[in-house]
Amino acid sequence: MAERGEGEKGQGIESLVVSLLSKGIMIAPDALDFLKKHPEKLASIDLDSLKGALSLEDLENAPSSLSDGEEFPTPREDEGARILYDYTEKFDMKGELSDFTNHFNDRYRNLSEMLKTRAELKNLSSVNRLSSIKEREEVSIIGIVDAKRETRSGHYIVEVEDPTGVAKILLSKNGPTIRKADEIVEDEVIGITGTASKELLFAEEVIFPDIPQMGAWPGKSKNVAVMISDVHIGSKQFRADYFDNLVNWLNSNNEVARRVKYLLVAGDVVDGVGVYKGQQKDLAITDIVGQYSAFADVLDKLNKRIRIFVSPGNHDASRDSDPQPAIPKEFSETLYSLKNVSMISSPAVVQLDRVNFLVYHGTALDSVIASIPSLRKTGYDNPHQAMIQQLRKRHLIPSYNDMSRMFPDGTDEMIIKTLPNVFHSGHVHKLGFSAYRGIKVINSGTFQDRTSFQVKVGHHPQPGKVPYIELGTGAVNILDLTNEGDGGPTIREEVF
């Protein structure tokens, strides 16, 4: 027999169904299940606009009918937020060369399969068959880049490898492929179409795995997601005033703030301890547990309607190589105790009201900027440019070099397999945003003032500028927390 409360609730739903049917409104089965848990949602829906049917989407997108100051229930996985990908450490490394071999073989297999779908790669051949192809015959190959060099006359020679051998590719300075020579980096997988000779393949086209043009924006809700990174709590340079401005705004009655349902944190939550030589003198909080506790105290002030996702960065207490597992509970138990906080890996893919967010701290941006000559002068001031290169290469660490922090995990977990609608990164402490093939590309800046290291290397951080996105339209706006007046932080509209 049902308990009294459950019986009364069931009778209420039955009455609700009868009432809707009498108005000619059919209820989808998943919508009915949702209503059983959240009957209050129906009060926010204009029944005349339903056109004869009530769907789960109508209920999920309905604004809350709770009054000011009333607590929202803690969000759950089935209420618009889903973690689509979250890395877990495997501990199966042998510490041998085979770890790297397996890693790069997996990279080649996955990215070559993506490239094989490209119509431009006609007459696809393996490298070992090039010597038997007729002179000047058109052919295509897929390979992983071993080396790239510029000749004295301004041409480029690129060596690529597949499982059958190594081939030399000529990118003529007078040909159409020379414009892509700058973008090609060692260790990435590319496709090449050209004409064969005994010693060289004369490239006519270079094809990156790339992102397909995305379709219509998937979100329809009126909710908002705020994106931050590089908080660096514990540092003497932490801008507590800017972060307080953010907390006060999120808890305010501002029309936009009231619709914020999600907060994404893309790493470097704290400044860490022992991250670099002499760091102790730069710390206001000198122990790692205390730093995470301070961050948890700040998050605990936020309205509990906001679902928070926290990803690690290179200053956090996760391993200092990509992919990074979630910040361990042993250092951040206070964060794990917050019911509206989910601790995720870097990278991770989170779906919020049908919109896919690729969240990655961005440690490999240093490597990408160093590997592409045209980015070396502009990349740190325009981080979205390097992020677009990661999308074009379908890989977050396309080149393995001195600036890479790659963990050879057998399988390559840094391939971009799940297509995002939003690519959110941090690390370089500079606000940057753009759009690429329908994907919103956003680097969310920082809450830390310029450090002595950044002065030394010429970086110009931009603290206190926070992007947020309208999940129903994809419009991106910027909160300027450095210029708070009587009406709160300034909002700069940046629709792209």
What are the pLDDT digits (tens) for 341-386?
A: 999 999 999 999 999 999 999 999 999 999 999 999 899 999 999 9
CATH code for the domain of 121? 2.40.50.140
Domain assignment of residue 75, yes or no: no
- The encoded tokens of residue 95 equal 């510490």
Query: Residue 481: is its pLDDT beyond 80?
Result: yes
- The last residue of a domain, from among 143, 172, 207: 207
Full 3-state SS string of 34-83: HHHHCHHHHHHCCHHHCCCEECHHHHHCCCCCCCCCCCCCCCCCCCCEEE
Does 178 share its domain with 267?
Answer: no
Average pLDDT of every residue of the chain: 87
Does 194 share its domain with 339?
Answer: no
Measured on CA atoms in the order 404, 264, 224, 237, is the torsion positive or negative?
negative
Does 181 share its domain with 219?
Answer: no
Does 167 share its domain with 243?
Answer: no
Nearest to 205 by CA among 121, 288, 263: 121
State the residue range of the domain holding 348.
82-88+213-494
Element (H, E) at 11: helix 4-22
pLDDT of residue 13: 57
- The encoded tokens of residue 428 equal 């370089």
pLDDT of residue 9: 41
Does 441 share its domain with 314?
Answer: yes
Domain assignment of residue 71, yes or no: no
Torsion of CA 406, 409, 411, 416, to 10 degrees: -30
Mean pLDDT for 112-122 is: 93
Angle between helices 29-37 and 4-22 (to 10 degrees): 140
DSSP conformation class of 399: S
Mean pLDDT for 457-473 is: 89
Does 307 share its domain with 447?
Answer: yes
Q: Is-contact 344 86, C-beta < 8 A? A: yes
- What is the arrangement of strands in the sheet containing 465-470, beginning at the earlier edge strand? 341-343, 307-311, 260-266, 224-228, 465-470, 476-485, 488-494
Domain assignment of residue 379, yes or no: yes
34 to 45, 52, 101, 155: CA distances (angstroms): 14, 18, 48, 63
Domain assignment of residue 25, yes or no: yes
Query: Residue 43: is its pLDDT beyond 90?
Result: no
Mean pLDDT for 89-112 is: 84
Q: Give the range among 108-117, 142-151, 304-313, 483-492 with minimum mean pLDDT.
A: 483-492
Does 431 share its domain with 299?
Answer: yes
**pTM surpassing 0.75?**
yes
337 to 74, 307, 333, 341: CA distances (angstroms): 13, 14, 6, 8
Does 219 share its domain with 190?
Answer: no
Domain assignment of residue 45, yes or no: yes
- The last residue of a domain, from among 207, 235, 251: 207
The more confident residue out of 428 and 11 is 428
Spatial separation of the C-alpha atoms in residues 313 and 269, rounded to whole Å: 7
Does 61 share its domain with 133?
Answer: no
- The encoded tokens of residue 437 equal 């093939």
Query: Residue 77: is its pLDDT beyond 50?
Result: no
Domain assignment of residue 72, yes or no: no
What are residue 431's DSSP bridge partners? Answer: 444
Q: Is-contact 39 16, C-beta < 8 A? A: yes
Spatial separation of the C-alpha atoms in residues 429 and 445, rounded to whole Å: 4
pLDDT of residue 434: 96
Does 177 share its domain with 243?
Answer: no
CA 168 to chain centre: 35
HSE-up of residue 242 (Cα within 13 Å, Cβ side): 24
- The last residue of a domain, from among 207, 229, 256: 207
Share of the chain above pLDDT 90, in %: 67
Does 222 share its domain with 159?
Answer: no
Which amino acid is residue 183, in one-letter code?
A: E
- From the number of C-beta atoms within 10 Å of its C-beta (0-12, 13-18, 19+), residue 352 rates as buried
- The separation between the first and the last C-alpha atoms of the chain, rounded to the nearest angstrom, is 56
DSSP conformation class of 131: G
Does 281 share its domain with 376?
Answer: yes
- Output phi, psi for 470, to 5 deg: -80, 115
> Which CB contacts under 8 angstroms, 24+ apart, belong to 380-385?
380/428, 380/430, 380/459, 380/460, 381/430, 381/432, 381/460, 382/430, 382/432, 383/425, 383/427, 383/428, 383/430, 383/432, 383/443, 384/432, 384/433, 384/434, 384/441, 384/442, 384/443, 385/432, 385/434
Q: Give the range among 59-68, 94-103, 195-204, 389-398 with minimum mean pLDDT.
A: 59-68
Spatial separation of the C-alpha atoms in residues 441 and 80, rounded to whole Å: 22
HSE-up of residue 211 (Cα within 13 Å, Cβ side): 28
Number of structural domains (the chain) is: 3
CATH code for the domain of 239? 3.60.21.50
Query: Residue 416: is its pLDDT beyond 70?
Result: yes
Domain assignment of residue 252, yes or no: yes
Q: Is-contact 456 489, C-beta < 8 A? A: no
pLDDT of residue 71: 40
- The encoded tokens of residue 341 equal 């906080």
